[in-house]
Amino acid sequence: MRCSSRFALTCLAGLAVWIGCQPAQREPGDTLAALFSGEEAEWIDMSYAYDESTIFWPTARSFELEVVSAGLTERGYYYAANNFCMAEHGGTHFDAPIHFAEGGQTAEQVPIELLIGPAVVIDVSAAAEADPDYQVSVSDFEAWEAEHGRIPDGAIVLVNTGWGTRWPDRGLVLGTTLTGPEAVPELHFPGLHPDAARWLVENRRIDAVGLDTPSIDYGQSTLFETHRVLYAASIPALENVALLDRLPATGAYVIALPMKIRRGSGGPTRVVGVIPGAASAGS
């Protein structure tokens, strides 16, 4: 049967849809319990931890952790607490439309259902390995659809460039170890071509996109057209997504929960991939 991802509003997006598609002999509550216990699904943390090695844009403020307390108090119990400071855009994070679209949604305004739903994964890792400046094209999406069918409405489109295998080597991920404005012209990593972004906006009804690179535009971009095209259409993006090679081309789901920063242009995000038992078994 065909199931709609819009069931997300009542029960964790596409996961609820998957439950609703299971054989009738099992109660939905039992299926949900099995799903969350890991008995019938593989859960994958697709986020990088924040520490001194986290990769940020060369002109952005890196992650800083200040230890406030880590030890026994005067009353004899242990207490730990920290302060941290960093830019919105670094590590595994999301971009709200306001990032490149004047008047667009800010971080707290992006509907959460856009960041929870069925995932499709387009693998361009071979092309990106051959060309660090590779830009994902319309033909890449057309080739994927020729093999797997049309990108479904409400999908979160993820692109695996293979760049996740380079983390956290700054030089390999960014193409340079320089920092500051002088580093920007030296950036080399794959991205989504603006024409491909326009094709998605004009021909498909997707909810979000995500890449395993520091930006959805390739490293040598100076106009950030892909950002502008997607965000003008209120399609948010995920960047530096980890372990994209662990997800199948179809059949998995994504839960991406960003920090809810009022008036934010984005923020750190915990991205989780869920592969239901049937999908993880290859059916």
Catalytic positions, please? Answer: 99
Write out the two tokens for 185. 């012209």
Candidates 265, 203, 197, 188; CA nearest to 226 is 197
Compute the Cα dihedral for 87, 89, 92, 97 and give only its sign. positive
Q: What is d(CA 168, CA 55) in angstroms, rounded to the nearest whole number?
A: 7
Amino acid at site 11: C
CB-CB contact of 117 with 156 (8 Å): yes
168 preceded by cis ω (within 30°)? yes
Q: Residue 100, Cα to own-chain centre: how many angstroms? A: 17
Q: Residue 54, Cα to own-chain centre: how many angstroms? A: 16
Write out the two tokens for 117. 């739903």
Amino acid at site 85: C
Could you give the count of Cα atoms lying within 13 Å of 95 in the half-sphere of its Cβ? 28
Query: How many residues are present in the chain?
Result: 283
- Element spanning 135, H or E: strand 135-136
SS3 57: coil
Beta strand pairing call for 41-45 and 116-123: unpaired
Q: What is d(CA 130, CA 112) in angstroms, rounded to the nearest whole number?
A: 36
